[in-house]
């Protein structure tokens, strides 16, 4: 399978020969696996936005996990800015949003972002806190939510906190699995605007979505299956 975004510059995302397999499923499957994609090639220039779609949300998630370095592919390479992405990439290189959000429920919205900022080498100063608040505000979260425990927030608010966490360091690549699935149309438009601003900073964005507004804001698509 080949998919593509224009641009094969030394900066950006370059994927070659990616093979993704997942358990075949079923009690009798044992160690059997099925292939989701085989031989995926793509180039995404710095600032590019790519949507990955397919009939199976689970299969799309599996591909995104390999592109984000969360799991090793069965074969192939994922190179970012000329260097292999590897597993568990530095948060300054990769920001990831899962469908489960994976926030720390006992921390506030701001504190969840601060964890990422500190992991990326940013000292916990007043300026760092202001940076976290600005990212939350950009996604439409009011100051009244910033210092609430995330377990007290609605699903849509939690999704935007998780998205803010993925974006706050302005990593070189963000991989977003259904970033607007719990949002109303106004919030979706706001997210699209934020992603456009992130792209203007030269960040590569790979995402999945069923929302035509989000898909329409992507420069290219890869369809699985």
Residue 1 has a pLDDT of 44
Please check whether the domain covering 12-223 is classified as CATH 3.40.50.300.
yes
Span 169-189, average pLDDT: 97
Higher pLDDT, 188 or 5: 188
Burial 75-93 (b: 16+ CB within 10 A, else e): ebebbbbeeebeeebebeb
- C-alpha dihedral (103, 71, 86, 117), degrees to nearest 10: 0
pLDDT of 123 > 80? The answer is yes
Span 25-48, average pLDDT: 84
| Local confidence band at 29 (pLDDT 50, 70, 90 cut-offs) | low
pLDDT (tens digit per residue) in 71-113: 999 999 999 999 999 999 999 999 999 999 999 999 999 999 9
Q: Considering only CA atoms, which of 104, 86, 114 is closest in space to residue 173?
A: 86
Residue 31 has a pLDDT of 77
Residue 4 has a pLDDT of 46
Span 179-202, average pLDDT: 96
**Is 161 within 8 Å of 109 (Cβ atoms)?**
yes
């Amino acid at each position: 399978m080949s998919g593509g975004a224009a641009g094969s510059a030394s900066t950006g995302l370059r994927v070659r020969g990616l093979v993704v397999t997942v358990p075949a499923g079923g009690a009798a499957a044992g160690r059997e696996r099925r292939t989701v994609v085989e031989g995926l090639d793509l180039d995404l220039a710095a600032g590019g936005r790519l949507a990955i779609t397919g009939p199976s949300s689970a299969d799309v998630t599996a591909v995104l996990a390999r592109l984000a370095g969360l799991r090793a592919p069965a074969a192939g390479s994922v190179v970012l800015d000329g260097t292999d992405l590897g597993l568990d990439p530095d948060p300054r290189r990769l920001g990831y949003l899962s469908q489960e959000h994976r926030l720390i429920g006992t921390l506030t919205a701001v504190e969840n972002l601060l964890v990422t900022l500190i992991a990326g080498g940013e000292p916990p100063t007043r300026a760092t806190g202001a940076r976290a608040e600005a990212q939350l505000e950009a996604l439409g979260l009011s100051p009244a939510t910033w210092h609430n425990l995330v377990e007290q927030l609605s699903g849509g608010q939690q999704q935007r906190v998780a998205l803010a966490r993925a974006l706050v360091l302005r990593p070189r690549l963000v991989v977003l699995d259904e970033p607007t699935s719990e949002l109303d149309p106004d919030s979706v438009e706001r997210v699209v605007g934020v992603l456009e601003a992130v792209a203007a900073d030269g960040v590569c964005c790979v995402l999945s979505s069923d929302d035509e507004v989000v898909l329409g804001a992507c420069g290219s698509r890869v369809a699985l299956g």
